[in-house]
Structure 1
Amino acid sequence: MTKKELSQCYYLKKEIRNDRERLERLRAEAKYPPTPKLSDEPPGPHTNEGRTERLALEIVDLEAIIAAKQIQRIHELGKLERFIADIEDSMTRQIFEYRHVDGMRWSEIATRMGGNNTPDSVRMAHDRYLKKFSDT
């Protein structure tokens, strides 16, 4: 696996979180319609007419996008966990698990691992394994 492939779960999780926040904003916007403007002028192209329908379509569309990304993330997580399970060394396996499944920073991983591990030492162990894996 490449670093890019390993980071897919993290970025998909981030995308899903952002999409959910956007969905909540759309739902809030749909829940509280704006007050009608009282004017003698004819309605322009940006009136409230059709706003509810537009928001409903956006919400349904975004829900489908989120569901598709969740399925993709489950698939990527399965690939990632199979890759990690094949790592023979327990310490290296834990580093990959903490980094790519749990999304921890190098400093958090070093603290969790204990001993004399530093953020640089766990990162280097990670990168050495990837280099060894890509060389074979």
Structure 2
Amino acid sequence: MPIIDDEGRLFGTVNIIDALVVLFVLAVVVAGVALLTGGGSSDETPTRTVVVDVGQQPGYVIDAIEEGSVETSDIVAVENKAIASGGGNDRLRLTVTLAVTENADGLPTFAEDRLYVGRQVQLDLGTTIVSGTVIEMR
């Protein structure tokens, strides 16, 4: 049995033109539903990468901070851990990715307060908690 017979029927039962029209209408309906419902949800949390100067810290605190993903709700990851030398003082600087929200003005907030350079933040890194000053935002 041929797929399309002499009369243009698909498998001898459905007219090929009718089948194409039904498929087209179905595609339009699916596209319309996707357009009206947003096409899918985005569950991604907005993030902001910042550099935090946490000051001088004992070696055991520095050793407890690991680069990589963090299992807390406010901090996504520690991107970099560096010792900054200058003026005779060694200071620990952390580059961290924070989970943020936006306030009514569209500005990022972290831990319910606006995030800005100069703000004091407390970072729960899972294995340790440190406090410092935001010195750079990316």
Name the TM-score class by shorter chain: under 0.3
Per residue, is there more strand in 1 or in 2? 2
User: Using CA pairs below 8 Å that are at least 6 residues apart, which structure has the higher relative contact order?
Assistant: 1
TM-score by length of 1: 0.27
Please tell me whether Structure 1 or Structure 2 has the larger radius of gyration of its CA atoms: 2
